Amino acid sequence: MKLDAFSQPIPLRPKSPRTLRRWSAFIIGILVLFSYYCYWGTAPRIVAPSTFDLHQTLISVPSYEHVRNWSAYYTSETHVAGQGWKQAQWTQAKWKEFGVTNTTISSHNTQLPLPTNNQRIILLENDRVFYEPSLVDANTSAGFIPAYFGFSVNANISGSYVFCNFGSEEDFETLAQHNVSLAGNIGIIKLGNASPYVREKNLSIFRALSVINAERAGLIGVVLYTDPGNDGPITEGNGYKTFPAGPARPLEAIERGGFGNIEDENRDALPKIPCIPMSSFDAIQLLSMLNGHGPSAKKLGDRWQEGGLEYYGVDYNVGPSPPGFSLRIINDADILDTQVHNVIGTIPGKTDELVIVGNHRDAWGPGAGDPGSGSAALNEVVRSFGVALQQGWRPERTIIFASFEGEEFAQIGSLLWVTKHVDWLRTSAVAYLNVVVAASGSHFHAKASPLLYSAIRSATDLILSPNQSSAGQSVRDVWGGNITPAGSGDANRFMSIPCVSTVDFGFSPAVGEPVFPYHTGFDNFEWMDRFGDPGWKYHVTSAKLWSLMAAHLAEPSVLNMSVTDYALAFQGWLEEFKTRDLWSPEVDLKVMIDLVERLSRAANRFDSFARSLKESQCTLWNFWTKCGQNPAISGVNKVYIAFERQFYYEPGLDGHTDHHHVLFTPSAWHNTPLAMPGLSKSLQKGDWKNAQVRPLFADIYRVMVLTKTEMERYNN
């Protein structure tokens, strides 16, 4: 379903996103909505005088002491998904204590895997155990579970092993070109997820894709580890001590992660070969056995040059393993019936429109950075609005706070909550504001729908940066303002199912800063206190930014959004295709470019009309009229809300029945896929036939003439 300008459900006419004609249909729908409202009359609105300063409250309440205390609690014990009841109760009690009395726990039945403690990786010399890694990296006394990958298939397999770099399609093509035997072997692969250095080198890849590529290449299993080479200059080989003595990654750290959720499992959408994690220390033992066997990574091209284990005697030969040596993997996790518990706090507004502010609690280990920094900051956001409530303040729009459980398993908690409330969200949700990692370094990142760019810019302009190079610099001054396509964590579900505008933001390490021990047992309170955010300034800054973004959207009678920013974003995305050499004479994008230019002109007029409504006020002699219920204001807001819904595609993208937004693909906080995934993937693959169908626009000019007529009617 999608929404018309009156927020009533109307039937969708789903069209395949595999043609650019479909882009025109979405944008044309939006322009028709604009034109409908742009000639409405304007009536003034009363602005009630008040001495209460909401913004000052929101930036003065968050404190270093409080976020530090919240972090200490959330990291104190195991809380992997399915173990979150105790922390859900604690969070609910805190939010009520802060003044958000309408706080409930929304529990959902699901199934989640937990390891049976029979997980094993064994290096065998003939039938003798030569080496066996420990699958526990830290904090065993706190009851944290052994390392595993969520929804990796159970298996007990043995075979020779090979080193496969990051497990990308290019890596496996390189191995095939050098006649490295893969079929029937086990692959040792470097994780390429959350490292800024890996991103800088364009080597990032999601763990599940590495395993899928390995399966396609003929491997029967995979062992994943995080190589110190991912950390750029901050390594023991470069003279830095490892945590806890210094900022480098501990060799014993084991990075966990999820491949999907029970719904992905039930529809057979997950890798079918087993995968298990190990530490860099374990990788040294296994990879050093390959020294002198098979081609050297040094001869395999630039992608293979970023290994950091040479300092420990690893030559990075790819193998296969020497005669007599083999690897055995035992993956054993029971899929259990359980529940996830979402904490939902509500501040009722004067309208039925919603602004949702959320984070997830579940973690693979202590989770001080991911997600504990976000959870601690969210508590301060709730506490800040609670102080405002105590002063008699009420928002224009309803604000919902959400602490989700199950994000690490493909957002199962938010998926179930969004699915339950999908009609309500489609009708009323203005935006979902998400934070996964509020603090783990100094680099600010933001991923958002263009409708929310103004909220991000406004907040980052108002808050001083914790790392100023000159006095008085704001977060935006230091950051620069680059916003990447929407996605990340639970924002994926709000974006992909009801097509709600989303933002995810936070602070993460830049290259050369202390290494973030992402998804390991070392992402703990001590690391955060000493290296991730000493002084807790980035936690507090994130809380202030988050609160201001929420207020930016929840307070004004006319929504603080901009469709002009969407048109500009389209232009930027197309220019990025050109910068990346994705344009080709085989594909004519001229009609798409022309459409975006026309959208830009229409959007400018519509935003100008919305701004004119903001400037109107009721006079003393007509305050008894219904000027506060100006239908023009209501109409403009409904168009802003309905705008994002126009990009909803009922069948789902690329076979994913729960990914409906045609402009953005689900992603993590630390990666940035291109916008317009259908078109961009075709251009990346050189699939000119699939891309060529896209520029067919049979009726675009007829609709543009209609739009122009309606705009002229308003202007006259």
Q: What is the pLDDT of residues 167-189, one digit of tens each?
A: 999 999 999 999 999 999 999 99
Give strand pairing partners of 157: 329
Rounded Cα gap, residues 671 and 438, in angstroms: 16
CA 113-114-120 angle, to 5 degrees, is: 115
What pLDDT score does 647 carry? 85
Which of 75, 65, 106, 66 has the alpha carbon at shortest distance from 403?
Answer: 106
Phi, psi of 603 (to 5 degrees): -65, -40
Rounded Cα gap, residues 68 and 64, in angstroms: 6
What pLDDT score does 602 carry? 84
Phi, psi of 328 (to 5 degrees): -120, 135
Give strand pairing partners of 413: none
Cβ atoms of residues 442 and 467 within 8 Å: yes
Higher per-residue pLDDT: 16 or 146: 146
Q: What is the CA radius of gyration of the chain?
A: 26
Give strand pairing partners of 276: 223
Average pLDDT of the chain is 87
Amino acid at 490: D
Rounded Cα gap, residues 234 and 466, in angstroms: 22
- How much of the chain is helix, strand and coil, in % rounded to 5? 40, 15, 40
Cβ atoms of residues 707 and 34 within 8 Å: yes
Rounded Cα gap, residues 418 and 413, in angstroms: 9
Q: What is the pLDDT of residues 554-576, one digit of tens each?
A: 999 999 999 899 989 989 998 99
Amino acid at 358: G
Q: What's the rounded mean pLDDT across residues 449-456?
A: 97
**Locate tokens 């072997």: which residue?**
185
Which of 669, 670, 690 has the alpha carbon at shortest distance from 680?
Answer: 690
Q: What is the pLDDT of residues 209-228, one digit of tens each?
A: 999 999 999 999 999 999 99
As given in the structure block, the two tokens for residue 439 are 């603090």
As a dihedral over the C-alpha atoms of residue 566, residue 571, residue 573, residue 576, rounded to 10 degrees, the angle is -150
Q: What's the rounded mean pLDDT across residues 425-449?
A: 98
Amino acid at 547: S
Rounded Cα gap, residues 525 and 74, in angstroms: 9
pLDDT over 60 at 15, yes or no: no
What pLDDT score does 505 carry? 98
Rounded Cα gap, residues 593 and 287, in angstroms: 50
pLDDT over 70 at 232, yes or no: yes
CB neighbour list of residue 695: distance below 8 Å, 6 or more residues apart? 20, 21, 587, 588, 589, 590, 591, 592
Q: How many residues does the chain have?
A: 716
As given in the structure block, the two tokens for residue 346 are 């509500």
Rounded Cα gap, residues 106 and 27, in angstroms: 36
Q: Which of 150-159, 276-285, 453-462, 679-688 has the lowest mean pLDDT?
A: 679-688
Rounded Cα gap, residues 160 and 223, in angstroms: 12
Q: How confident is the model at residue 678 (pLDDT cuts 50, 70, 90)?
A: confident
What pLDDT score does 704 carry? 34
pLDDT over 60 at 433, yes or no: yes
Which of 424, 423, 344, 355 has the alpha carbon at shortest distance from 107?
Answer: 344
As given in the structure block, the two tokens for residue 610 are 């919305």
Rounded Cα gap, residues 352 and 367, in angstroms: 35
Reported as type and span, the H/E element at residue 104 is strand 103-115
The CA-to-CA distance between both ends of the chain, in Å, stands at: 35
Reported as type and span, the H/E element at residue 88 is helix 85-98
For 180, the 3-state DSSP assignment is coil
Higher per-residue pLDDT: 42 or 628: 628
For 111, the 3-state DSSP assignment is strand
pLDDT over 50 at 683, yes or no: yes
For 12, the 3-state DSSP assignment is coil
Q: What's the rounded mean pLDDT across residues 617-629?
A: 44
What pLDDT score does 31 carry? 53
Q: How confident is the model at residue 614 (pLDDT cuts 50, 70, 90)?
A: confident
Rounded Cα gap, residues 698 and 591, in angstroms: 11
Q: What is the pLDDT of residues 23-32, one digit of tens each?
A: 555 555 555 5
DSSP single-letter state for residue 528? I
Q: What's the rounded mean pLDDT across residues 114-134?
A: 94
Q: What's the rounded mean pLDDT across residues 71-90?
A: 96
What pLDDT score does 16 carry? 44
Reported as type and span, the H/E element at residue 708 is helix 700-715
Q: What's the rounded mean pLDDT across residues 376-392?
A: 98
Q: What is the pLDDT of residues 92-104, one digit of tens each?
A: 999 999 999 999 9
What pLDDT score does 49 carry? 44
What pLDDT score does 27 carry? 53
What pLDDT score does 244 carry? 96
Pairing of strands 257-258, 149-150: parallel
Q: Which domains does the chain have, with CATH numbers?
A: 2-45+563-715 (1.20.930.40), 54-110+339-554 (3.40.630.10), 117-331 (3.50.30.30)
pLDDT over 60 at 504, yes or no: yes
